[in-house]
Structure 1
Amino acid sequence: MQACPLLSTLLLSAMLCLPAHAEDELIVADQKGQQKALMEAAGTDQNLPYHIRWVEFEAAAPLLQALGAGAVDTGIAGDGPFLFAWGAGLHIKAAWVIPPRGAGQATAIVVPEGSPISAPDQLSGKRIATGRGSIGHLLLLRLLATGAIPAPAPHIVFLLPAQAKAALDTKRVDAWSTWEPYVSLAVISGHGHAIADAAGLMPNNSFFVANTEALAQKKRLLADFYRRITAAYDWGTKHQVAYAHILARQTGLPDDVAIAVAQKLIAVPAPVTPDVIRAEDGVVEAYRSAGFIARTGDLSDAFEQNLTH
C-alpha cells in the first residue's frame, strides 16, 4: 500500500502554470485552512497593502514541494517535514517559528476504536501509516531510537492523510502517526485513542517557511505578513472558541474537533533565533541516522534570521 505521488504531481504541475508572481501579491500555502481562518477571525487580514492568494494543501510534503518550486511564496510546516525537505535540497528557509503548545500532544500515534493496542511497546511488527518526512514520521523515528517501540520494527506505510485515515478506518493499518487536526478527528470523531505523543521527544516547533526567491524579492511583504499572523495568533490565544467556530465554518471540521485543535495549536509566533536552530539539530540527526537525508553543512543555512518587522 504505497502512497501514490500522482495527486501531488498534478497539483504542483498545475501551480507551476500560474502567472508569474506579482510584486503586490503574496501566495500563501495553508493546511486545512487554519491560518486563513485565524487571520479572518482576528481581523488581521483587513486593510492589506497587497493581495494574499491562499492555496490549500492536505499535508506539508506537497506544500513544501510547491514552495521549493517557487509556486508559492510562504507556508506553514512542522519542523520535521521542513528539515526533511531542506535536507533533500529544496531552496527554502524557515523564517518564523511557532513554538509548541500542548506539550507535544499535537503529534500523536492513534489507533482505531476497539484496538487492543494501548501503548507504544505494542507496536512492534505492526503496520503504521504516516507521511514520508512528516512530523508523524519523525515521531516514529524518535520512538524507535529511544526503544519505546522495541524490535521487531513496525512496517511504516507512507500515505497522505486522507489515505491514512481510510486505511485506519478499514483496519488495513494498525495505527496512524499523525498531527492536528487529524489527531483530534481520529480521537473525537472516530472514537480512536492516542497511545503516544511527541512530548519530550522532539522540539515540536512549526515554521512559516519561504522560498529563497520570495525572501529576496518580497521581503517587505513577508515581514508584514508574519507581523499580521503573529498578531492573529496572539488574538487566538485569548479567543480560542471564536477562532474554532470560524475554523469549523471554513474547513468543515466539527465544532468539538476545531476547539480541540485551537487548544493545542494556538501559540504566539516569533522570529527564528540561534536557540531555535540549536534545538532543531536533533531533528536533522534523526532523519540522517535513519538514512533519509544526506545533506551536510551548517544548519543555520536552513533559517532566515534577518527578517525584520
Structure 2
Amino acid sequence: MKRRHLLQAGALAAPTLLGFRTKAVAANRVLNVGYQKASVSLALLKARGLLAERLKPLGYDVAWSVFTSGPPIMEALSAGAVDFAFTGEPPPIFAQAAGVPVVYAAATKPAPKSVAILIGPDSPIKSLADLRGKKVAVAKGSSAQYLLISALRHAGLQYSDITPVYLQPPDGRIALQSGDVDAWSIWDPFYAAASAAGLKKLADCTGLMPNRGFYVSRRSFAEANGPALTAAVAAVKEIEAWEPTHIPEITVEISKTTGVPPSVLDIWFQRQKYGVEPLTPAILADQQTIADTFFDLHLIPRKIDVSQAAWTA
C-alpha cells in the first residue's frame, strides 16, 4: 500500500473509530493515545487517570481513542489522530513499509501463549499440516497473521497453500463458528473468549514467534514532544510492574471498562507476560525477521530497515 493510500484509509476510517475525538485545549497540548482491548496497561492508565496525572505538570492533556486492532491504530497514527499507542509486532512494520514515520519507543516482554490458531470443536483438522487447502480467518497486518505464516512454514506449508480470509476479530469468530472458514488466527482477549465458548487451540506462538507488543509514536511528535513521550513510557513501566501481583483486582476493573467477563480475562491475564523493556539489538533483529518475511511474501511493498524506526529519549 502506498503512503497516500494509507493516508486516505486513515482519513476514511477516522470518523468511525470508537471514541475518536480531537480534543481542543486552549492552554495545554494533547497526547492522543490509541489503545485496544489488548492494551490492558493503557486501559488501566486511562481508568485511573495516572497518565493524565503524569503529563499535567508537563503541560499536556490526554485524549483516548479505542480501536479494534493494530492496523487501524497505525492509520490513525499516520493521519495525526494518534500520538502514542500500543500494538503488536506487524502493524508498525506495515506502516513503515508504507512510508509512515512510525517510531518504536519501548517493547513488552514476549507472550507466546497469547496468540493462537483456533478451530471448531468438531473440526476434522488435527495438525497444522491439515490446514492445506483450508480457509483461515485473520486480521491482515496483525500478529495473528505472522503466527499463521510461521506456523504454516513450521508444518512444511507455504502461505499460498491456504486461503487467507482477512477479517477483524469479531467477524473472524463469527466466520469460524458459522463454518465460513476452517480456522481462525487470533490474539487475546478474543482468543480467551473463543476458547471459553468451545473453540479449540490448534497452535499458539510457542517456538514460532516472540509475540511482543510495542509502544509506538510518530517521529515528528517524538522529536517535538520527547519529555511527554518519555513520561508516557515511564507511566506504562510503572503500571506493568504493578500488574502481575494484582491480577484479581485488574480482572474486576478491566471487566467493568471493557465488558469482557472476568472469567475470560483471568484466562488471558494468567498467560500474559508483564514488563516493559528498552529497545535492544536483539528485539530489533526479531522485528527485522518479521519484516523480511512479509517482504518475501510480497505482503509489504518494499524492504525496510526496522532499526531506522527506533527512538530513544
Q: TM-score range by the shorter chain?
A: 0.7 to 0.9
Deviation at 1:23, TM superposition (A): 5.2
- Mapped to 2, the partners of 1:121 and 1:244 lie a distance apart of 36
TM norm structure 2: 0.87
Deviation at 1:61, TM superposition (A): 0.7
In structure 2, the partner of 1:93 is 103
Q: Deviations over 1:20-71 (max 9, x none)?
A: 7875321110012623433267774463323221100001110111111211
Classify 1:105/1:149 alpha carbon distance in 2 versus 1 (closer, same or farther; 3 Å). farther
Deviation at 1:19, TM superposition (A): 5.9
In structure 2, the partner of 1:12 is 14
**Does the residue aligned with 1:280 lie in a helix, a strand or coil?**
helix
**Does the residue aligned with 1:47 lie in a helix, a strand or coil?**
helix
Deviation at 1:151, TM superposition (A): 8.8
**Does the residue aligned with 2:227 lie in a helix, a strand or coil?**
helix
**Does the residue aligned with 2:257 lie in a helix, a strand or coil?**
helix
- Asked whether 1:198 is paired with 2:202, we answer no
Q: Which amino acid is 2:208 matched to? A: L
Aligned with residue 31 of structure 1, among 6, 16, 36: 36
Q: Deviations over 1:90-144 (max 9, x none)?
A: 111111101113xx11111011222222321111111100011111111111123
Aligned with residue 179 of structure 2, among 156, 171, 175: 171
Q: CA RMSD in A?
A: 2.6
8 Å CA contact 1:44, 1:231 repeated in 2: no
- Asked whether 1:116 is paired with 2:124, we answer yes
Deviation at 1:203, TM superposition (A): 2.5
Greater CA deviation, 132-141 or 55-64?
132-141
Identity %: 27
- Mapped to 2, the partners of 1:151 and 1:91 lie a distance apart of 29
In structure 1, the partner of 2:285 is 278
Deviation at 1:17, TM superposition (A): 8.1
8 Å CA contact 1:44, 1:229 repeated in 2: no
Q: Deviations over 1:68-100 (max 9, x none)?
A: 121110111111222122222211111110111
TM norm structure 1: 0.88
- Mapped to 2, the partners of 1:46 and 1:81 lie a distance apart of 26
5+ long unaligned stretches in structure 2: 1-5
Q: Which amino acid is 1:276 matched to? A: I
- Asked whether 1:265 is paired with 2:292, we answer no
Greater CA deviation, 234-243 or 137-146?
137-146
- Mapped to 2, the partners of 1:263 and 1:87 lie a distance apart of 34
Residues 114-193 of structure 1 mapped to structure 2, 5 A cutoff: 114-149=122-157, 153-188=161-196, 190-193=197-200
5+ long unaligned stretches in structure 1: none
- Mapped to 1, the partners of 2:187 and 2:43 lie a distance apart of 18
- Mapped to 2, the partners of 1:184 and 1:243 lie a distance apart of 16
